[in-house]
Structure 1
Amino acid sequence: MSSQEDLKAGHAPAVKAGGMRITQHKSPAASGATPEKKSEEIAAEEEEYGSEPKTDKHHQQVLVSGAVTKGDKDFTTEAVKAIHEKPRPAKDARPNHPHVHNINQPRKM
């Protein structure tokens, strides 16, 4: 029964030091959320379902906005590189100094 008394809302109470809560990050590997498959299980799955087909990147056709593209043949690497690289400015654009606007108002007497 002592273990149930230590639980708060179904889990252990917060860890505190000096009246402040301390965060404890849990890694996904430690919690066991993703169990690792053994090589025997992987071999059995490949035997049952077969291995994944290899995709050929050079002859792959992709549908982009209704038009079929053929990967590197439609857009050469030089053309894509030229589009993605931004042109450098020829001159430096320095920020202008703010003008001080003195408003002349009558003084108190």
Structure 2
Amino acid sequence: MYHDTFDLERVKSVLEKDPNIDVVIISNSITLSELYWRRIQDHLGIKKEAYVVTDSEHALDGIPIKNSLILKIGRWWENRNAREFMLQTSFAKLTLPITFITPFWKGGEVSE
């Protein structure tokens, strides 16, 4: 792993303690959410689906907030569902702001 792995180590610790925890991601862009989740999966060698809070009207339908790990990525507050979503995160197991996850290097190539 790289020297700038504080956020990654926190996520790793939570997922190791509770591998069945649901992961919910909120950011201002679905592309950014998917990129960061792919980087986390590559670094940790896991295959797990994450729920993504999007800007759509029904973004919170079916999202398991209770006892889940919430990852706030980038300018998450620009998501139009952020206010309503954050009001419900008191039921989450843990909420972590993610500032940076380094790209994953596989065989000298950056995996994006």
Greater gyration radius: 1
Report the TM-score, using the length of structure 1 for normalisation.
0.18
Bigger relative contact order (CA 8 A; separation at least 6): 2
Report the TM-score, using the length of structure 2 for normalisation.
0.18
Point out the structure with the larger strand share.
2
